[in-house]
Amino acid sequence: MYWNSELETIDRKSLQELQLARLNRALEAASRTSYYKKFFEDAGVDVSKVKTLEHLQDLPFTVKNDLRLSYPDGMVAVPKRDIVRMHASSGTTGKSTVIYYTRHDLDEWAGIVARGIVATGTTADDVFQNMMGYGLFTGGLGLHYGAEKVGCFVIPASSGNTLKQIQFFQDFGTTVIHITPSYSLHLVEVIREQGIDPHSLTLKKAYLGAEPYSEATRDRIQDLYGIQAYNSYGLSEMNGPGVAFECIHKNGMHLWEDFYIAEIIDPVTGKQLPDGEEGELVLTHINREAMPVIRYRTRDLTRFIPGPCPCGRTHRRIERIKGRTDDMMILGGVNVFPSQIETVLMNTPEVGNNYQLILERVSNLDKLHIRVELNSSMFHGDLKELDALRKKIGEQLRALITINPRIELLEPGSLPPSMGKAQRVIDNRKI
Ligand code: AMP
Ligand code: ZN
């Protein structure tokens, strides 16, 4: 089932023609903005020379800092009266980055979100409880309007207020939730503490996104709730959620290429990589009037999955995000991503649902300290058992990523629960 069968199954040649037409329109709009006008001039590029999709590679990258430098409205391409909404990124450091939308932009955005929702089999018969934060963050309102377009019964619950969320599940018969993976792992514990069997609820599906997580975490969430979980990817610079979404086959996320031109680059050289190789995702928004963003370096690492998807959608799929380039840790010369450690932890049944990675520098060497909660059925304090478990996790980490961290096993509930995006890595290194 498709939301927009014509665009979702468009043949590649027509798709590329559409991309080029939209790219030219976006470049023209960008050149009208005060920020990009100077940006292109400084780089010595003439965007009117972009005649093919390959020419895009001649243009400079936009990075997060460009959005900060253009604050508050240096990248706006339309008269103020045409703007109907803004969002701002969650950035904890520096100035926030602001994103603008016209009526057209919001409508189109809701349309691709609807595509993703429908691709997972959700219909107007579903009750959709949206547990992502509403407000400046795009997670809440982004999925909200897409789900309304599909005709779902939408509960704009936002994040937090865990007991109320559970009450809503029961009172309104929620079938689909949108939630961060880390919050879903906390929520399921609270459901159990309330004496409710999560499998007895009406839930059928979860859309998980907004933060990196491993396949092992998806499996765990599916088992704990007895539901199907689908990966959903997006970032505020590219509207918010809905950029790429899994279909029922759950084999990578279809990236809506009539909205975004995607490139995978080597994060060090900045050069495009051959199809199927892993690198940094770079996106050009070609369907937003208010704020075109050209060749944006997402810092997210992924690759294109080769070959067609059995669902018939022609938009290419990206693999689960491995991590962000800035989250990579170098431990004893080995590159390690938090998601690799998470895979080991979440595949260990004795391990609970929450963990933290603490980085320290001892005598000029990076040291990793893993604090992980135990599963409540496991926590009876038998020291021998705990020692054996610590050893088992240590061996698996060594086998997989040749690191030897300090592992601290904690009582369930000792780490701060996540209500939105989890902060997994705490960097105490003084560099
Ligand atoms: P924000 O700009 O606050 O919307 O955050 C966007 C960032 O969240 C992305 O660049 C990713 O790093 C991360 N993110 C969003 N969705 C996912 C996902 N499904 N898997 C991994 N990371 C994600
Ligand atoms: Zn598919």
Q: What is the pLDDT of residues 161-187, one digit of tens each?
A: 999 999 999 999 999 999 999 999 999
Give pLDDT tens digits for 71-112. 999 999 999 999 999 999 866 556 789 999 999 999 999 999
Distance CA 10, CA 263 (A): 20
Residue whose CA is at the smallest distance from ligand 1 atom 6: 235
Q: What is the mean pLDDT of residues 372-388?
A: 87
76 C-beta neighbours (distance < 10 Å), count? 23
The whole-chain average pLDDT of the chain stands at: 95
Q: Where are the alpha helices (DSSP H) in 204-334?
A: 215-225
Strand partners, 425: 357
Distance CA 132, CA 79 (A): 31
Does the global pTM surpass 0.75? yes
Ligand with the closest atom to the CA of 139: 1
209 C-beta neighbours (distance < 10 Å), count? 30
Measured in degrees and rounded to the nearest 5, phi and psi for residue 219 equal -60, -45
Helix, strand, or coil (residue 368): strand
Residue whose CA is at the smallest distance from ligand 1 atom 7: 235
Radius of gyration of the chain from Cα atoms?
Answer: 22
255-265 burial, b at 16+ Cβ within 10 Å, e below that, comes to bbbbbbbbbbb
Nearest to 21, CA basis, from 264, 297, 261: 261
Distance CA 134, CA 140 (A): 4
Question: Strands, E, within 240-324: which ranges?
Answer: 240-246, 253-255, 260-265, 279-285, 296-302, 304-305, 317-318, 323-324
Q: Which residue has the higher pLDDT, 51 or 331?
A: 51
- What Å distances lie between residue 412 and 38, 215, 350, 392, 416, CA to CA? 54, 22, 11, 19, 11
Give pLDDT tens digits for 114-173. 999 999 999 999 999 999 999 999 999 999 999 999 999 999 999 999 999 999 999 999
Q: Which residues line ligand 1 (CB under 6 A)?
A: 89-90, 138, 209-212, 231-236, 240, 298, 300, 321, 324
**Per-residue model confidence (pLDDT) at position 92:** 56
Chain CA centroid to CA 2, Å? 22
CA 212 to centroid of ligand 1, rounded, Å: 7
Ligand 1, atom nearest to 300 Cα: 12
Nearest to 100, CA basis, from 130, 71, 120: 71
**Per-residue model confidence (pLDDT) at position 334:** 87
Domains of the chain in start order, with CATH, are: 1-325 (3.40.50.12780), 329-430 (3.30.300.30)
**Per-residue model confidence (pLDDT) at position 429:** 82
Question: Strands, E, within 363-431: which ranges?
Answer: 365-374, 406-410, 425-427
Q: Are 317 and 309 in contact (CB under 8 A)?
A: yes
Ligand with the closest atom to the CA of 327: 1
What burial class does residue 24 get, using C-beta atoms within 10 Å of its C-beta: 0-12 exposed, 13-18 middle, 19+ buried?
middle
* Tokens of residue 111, six digits: 């349309």
Distance CA 209, CA 228 (A): 14
With a pLDDT cut of 70, the percent of the chain lying above it is 98
Q: Are 179 and 207 in contact (CB under 8 A)?
A: yes
**Per-residue model confidence (pLDDT) at position 303:** 98
Ligand 1, atom nearest to 212 Cα: 21
Test site for ligand 1: of 99, 136, 184, 211, most ligand atoms within 8 A of the Cβ: 211
Neighbours of ion ligand 2 (CB under 5 A): 247, 309, 311, 313
Helix, strand, or coil (residue 164): helix
CA 1 to centroid of ligand 2, rounded, Å: 11
Residue 1 in this model has a pLDDT that exceeds 90: yes
* Tokens of residue 94, six digits: 């520096």
Give pLDDT tens digits for 362-371. 887 888 999 9
Tell me the pLDDT band of 381, cut-offs 50, 70 and 90: confident
Helix, strand, or coil (residue 154): strand
CA 404 to centroid of ligand 1, rounded, Å: 29
Ligand 1, atom nearest to 231 Cα: 19
- What Å distances lie between residue 8 and 3, 151, 255, CA to CA? 8, 19, 10
Residue 372 in this model has a pLDDT that exceeds 60: yes
**Per-residue model confidence (pLDDT) at position 382:** 85
The DSSP H or E segment spanning 228 is strand 228-235
Ligand 1, atom nearest to 208 Cα: 19
Residue whose CA is at the smallest distance from ligand 1 atom 4: 235
Cis, bond preceding 72 (omega within 30 deg of 0) = yes
Residue 300 in this model has a pLDDT that exceeds 90: yes
Residue 330 in this model has a pLDDT that exceeds 90: no
**Per-residue model confidence (pLDDT) at position 431:** 57
CA 358 to centroid of ligand 1, rounded, Å: 21
Give pLDDT tens digits for 2-44. 999 999 999 999 999 999 999 999 999 999 999 999 999 999 9
Q: Are 305 and 260 in contact (CB under 8 A)?
A: no
CA 152 to centroid of ligand 2, rounded, Å: 21
**Per-residue model confidence (pLDDT) at position 376:** 86
CA 430 to centroid of ligand 2, rounded, Å: 45
Q: What is the mean pLDDT of residues 297-323?
A: 98
CA 302 to centroid of ligand 2, rounded, Å: 17
Residue 402 in this model has a pLDDT that exceeds 90: no
Q: What number of residues does the chain have?
A: 431
Tell me the pLDDT band of 273, cut-offs 50, 70 and 90: very high
Ligand with the closest atom to the CA of 143: 1
**Per-residue model confidence (pLDDT) at position 264:** 98
Residue whose CA is at the smallest distance from ligand 1 atom 1: 235
Measured in degrees and rounded to the nearest 5, phi and psi for residue 211 equal -150, 155
What burial class does residue 2 get, using C-beta atoms within 10 Å of its C-beta: 0-12 exposed, 13-18 middle, 19+ buried?
middle
Handedness of CA 172, 175, 176, 181 (dihedral sign): positive
- What Å distances lie between residue 19 and 15, 22, 258, 305, CA to CA? 6, 5, 6, 20
CA 200 to centroid of ligand 2, rounded, Å: 29
